[in-house]
Amino acid sequence: MRDGEQDREEVVLCLFTHHSAEGTISPILAVFWYHKSSKKLKEEIMNQKPVRVRFAPSPTGHLHVGGARTALFNWLYARNRGGKFILRIEDTDQARSTLESEKMVKHDLRWLGMDWDEGPEIGGDFGPYRQSERMEIYKKHAEQLLAEGKAYRCFCTDAELTAKREQAEAESRSPHYDGTCLKLSETEIQEKLAAGVPFTIRFKVPDNAYTLYDMIRGAVHWEPGTLGDFIILRSDGMPVYNFCVVVDDHLMEISHVIRAEEHLPNTLRQIMLYEAFGWKPPKFAHASLILGQDRSKLSKRHGATSVGQFKEEGYLSEAMVNYLALLGWNEGKDREEYTIPELIKAFSVKRINNSPAVFDMDKLNWLNGIHLRKLTDEQLFEVGAPFLVAAFPFLTPLVADHNPWILAALNMEKNKMVLLSELGERLQFLFHYELKGNEEMRAFFAEETHLAAGRLMAERILAVKDLTPDSFWEAAMSIKEEGFKGKALFHPLRALLTGTLSGPELNAMVPVLVSGANIPELVSIQDRCRKFIEVFGR
RNA sequence: GGGGCAUUCGUCUAGGGGUUAGGACGCCGGCCUCUCACGCCGGAAACAGGGGUUCAAUUCCCCUAUGCCCUACCA
């Protein structure tokens, strides 16, 4: 227990969460005892504000795994507590924000299985949910601080500020704003205003010490003087992140802010603003950063980091969510595998870690395999078919028809692949059969017994009039009478059939090959046998 | 430069004043097996360093080191 806040968290967790068998969550008020002082507790529960959390991406590109994890922690918390999950678009950086990015982010969130209760398009009682549509609100609040003398106009130009900063650094002083414009007289200000000199609005930083009680880190303390007066409204009238985040979180009645540690230093600015407005801040929880292999903050240069890329590479959203949840959070049990409903049930903020975590592709891959193997036929078809079609476009009609052959083909690889994108390469053998110049086959059939088995089986299979899985096996297995058995029998058969020494189980493969004979691009068993005799026949 | 946060196997982590420091990925070995996988069994592998406090520190405190984040008219 880090502090009193934690205590309360745990209590409410017990009382507000209910899981039905289907894994859906319904908030209920089950009153059962938890603590000696249950009367006081009940009172507290009734006074407890509903959980309202938000994910607030800036739409400047794809959804990044770091952002996805932040969104996930918020979403899991909301769903666990029967609260609301709000999507807010932080697009005050007009130069970098695009509607296209916003769409991609939303698309990726949905793919991961996260839905939101309030947000752009769907609306809600606290909208609008795009910061670019809330300009009047920010302006009004900035002017309020201005009127109250808690903020002031700054007429310094960019060049002047840069010079001041450089000089401060040269003299190894803190590069804080020096407060030049704070000393401006009222007449000077009016003159500049009349002359149309552009200005920003700066927040006058109080000379106080601050302590933040973070749900994950406990008390975080700042001494006075760590911060210079910072800009809240740009000269073009656009508000700055640290300002609108406070205004919005308050107006949207956000109860908990769960975000990455990179925002921890910013929180000081924010609690100053809450104080200036006389608002009660939400509870903060700062999760640690996700790092790349080199232990710096995960970014594009570490390779695939956008959620969309993982999807394209054949990762399952369930695996992604499972992995992301485990990156910086754990239930406290020796458990790695979770479905999404299981995560909702198990999640708690207080078990989020406070030390940075390296993104481990190996473990993600392993989890993907785990989730892949748990897929039902229907699910496997749904996620696998697109990859099949991408590799073999001529299968499009079969997929459209939900032809069972597709499922049979997918099932051959279900236990073997790590990524769905391997499907193309793994099933290549169905549509290609090449023995000439195949060094592996030459070496294999250089062995006398292998060659003999292959020849015999090819001939006997070709002699079958109506090839079915049964008649196939009968013909192939008939060479047992010649003394072939075990590896000496199955290995040559595999080689004969696929032209390689590894691949799916023969038992699964034969029906796929037989029933796929009507697919023009598929190389039939007969053709395989004929080609074999052509290359390795007597 | 200043501020903040962090530090248990290579990686993700459990634990926490007295433990054979537990699990998972990856790695190695074995079993299963027509191959490759899956699965199962086993193995190697960690408390950053130095000071305290204590009968006892990996666990609590301090310092150092290291890493990361913030220090923008980015979010």
Buried b (16+ CB within 10 A) or exposed e, A287-314: bbbbbbeeeeebeeebeebbbbbbbeeb
Q: What are phi and psi of A488, to 5 degrees?
A: -65, -20
Matching residue, tokens 């003087």: A225
pLDDT for the residue numbered A123 = 87
φ/ψ of residue A80, rounded to 5: -65, -35
Residue located via tokens 């859906």: A24
Query: How far is Cα A175 from Cα A420, in angstroms, rounded to an integer?
Result: 51
Is residue A51 a contact partner of residue A83, using CB atoms and an 8 Å limit? Answer: yes
> Comparing C-alpha atoms, which of A72, A10, A17 is closest to residue A35?
A10
Cα angle A206, A208, A212; round to 5: 110
Instruction: Work out if A296's Cβ lies within 7 angstroms of strand B.
Output: yes
Structure tokens at A429: 């053998």
From the alpha carbon of A67, which nucleotide's C1' atom is closest? B75
Q: Which residues in window 65-104 of A are less than 7 A from strand B by Cβ?
A: 90, 92-93, 96
Q: Which amino acid is at A325?
A: A
> Does A494 contact strand B, using a CB cutoff of 7 Å?
yes
Strand B proximal to A270 Cβ, under 7 A: no
Q: What is the largest CA-CA distance in chain A?
A: 110
* Nearest nt by C1' to A174 Cα: B2
Read off the pTM.
0.88
Question: For residue A272, what is the enclosing H or E element?
Answer: helix A264-277
Round to a whole number and report the distance in Å from the CA of A52 to the C1' of B61.
38
Which residues are bridge partners to A528 per DSSP? none
Token representation of residue A476? 């192939």
Contacts of A225 (CB under 8 A, 6+ apart): A207
pLDDT tens-place values along chain A, 538 residues long: 333 333 333 333 233 333 333 333 333 333 222 333 344 444 455 556 799 999 999 998 899 999 999 999 999 999 999 999 999 999 988 888 899 999 999 999 999 999 999 999 898 899 799 999 999 999 999 999 999 999 999 998 888 888 888 887 777 777 888 888 888 889 999 999 999 999 999 999 999 999 999 999 999 999 988 888 999 999 999 999 999 999 999 999 999 999 999 999 999 999 999 999 999 999 999 999 999 988 888 887 787 789 999 999 999 999 999 999 999 999 999 999 999 999 999 999 999 999 999 999 999 999 999 999 999 999 999 999 999 999 999 999 999 999 999 999 999 999 999 999 999 999 999 999 988 888 889 999 999 999 999 999 999 999 999 999 999 999 999 999 888 888 899 999 999 999 999 999 999 999 999 999 999 999 999 999 999 999 988 7
CA of A329 to C1' of B65 (A): 28
Query: A206 with A272: CB under 8 angstroms?
Result: yes
Q: What is the pLDDT of residue A179?
A: 84
Residue A412 CB contacts under 8 Å (≥ 6 apart), including other chains: A427, A504, A505, A508, A509, A512
pLDDT at A161 (0 to 100): 87
Tokens of A191: 């003159």
C-alpha span between A530 and A538 (Å, rounded) = 12
Task: State residue A14's pLDDT score.
Answer: 30
Angle at which helix A525-536 crosses helix A448-463, to 10 degrees, equals: 140
Which nucleotides of strand B come closer than 7 angstroms to any CB of the protein? 1-8, 10-15, 22-26, 34-39, 67-75
Per-residue exposure over A469-497, b if at least 16 CB sit within 10 Å of its own CB, e if not = eeebeebbbebeeeebeeebbebbbbbbb
Question: Which DSSP helix (H) or strand (E) runs through A173?
Answer: none
Report the C-alpha gap between A82 and A16 in whole angstroms: 7
Give me the long-range contacts of A138-147 (CB less than 8 A, separation at least 24). A138/A233, A138/A239, A138/A243, A138/A244, A138/A247, A139/A233, A139/A237, A139/A239, A141/A243, A141/A247, A141/A277, A142/A201, A142/A232, A142/A233, A142/A239, A142/A243, A144/A277, A145/A201, A145/A203, A145/A232, A145/A276, A145/A277, A146/A201
Going by C-beta distance under 8 Å and a sequence separation of 6 or more, which residues neighbour residue A302?
Answer: A292, A293, A294, A359
A224 upstream amide cis, omega within 30 of 0? no
Report d(CA A442, CA A454) in Å as an integer: 12
- Token pair for residue A7? 């205590």
Confirm whether A39 is a catalytic residue: no
Residue whose Cα is closest to the C1' of B24: A336
CA distances from A169 to A155, A156, A164, A182, A491 (A): 22, 18, 9, 21, 73
Give the pLDDT of residue A46: 53
* pLDDT on residue A45: 52
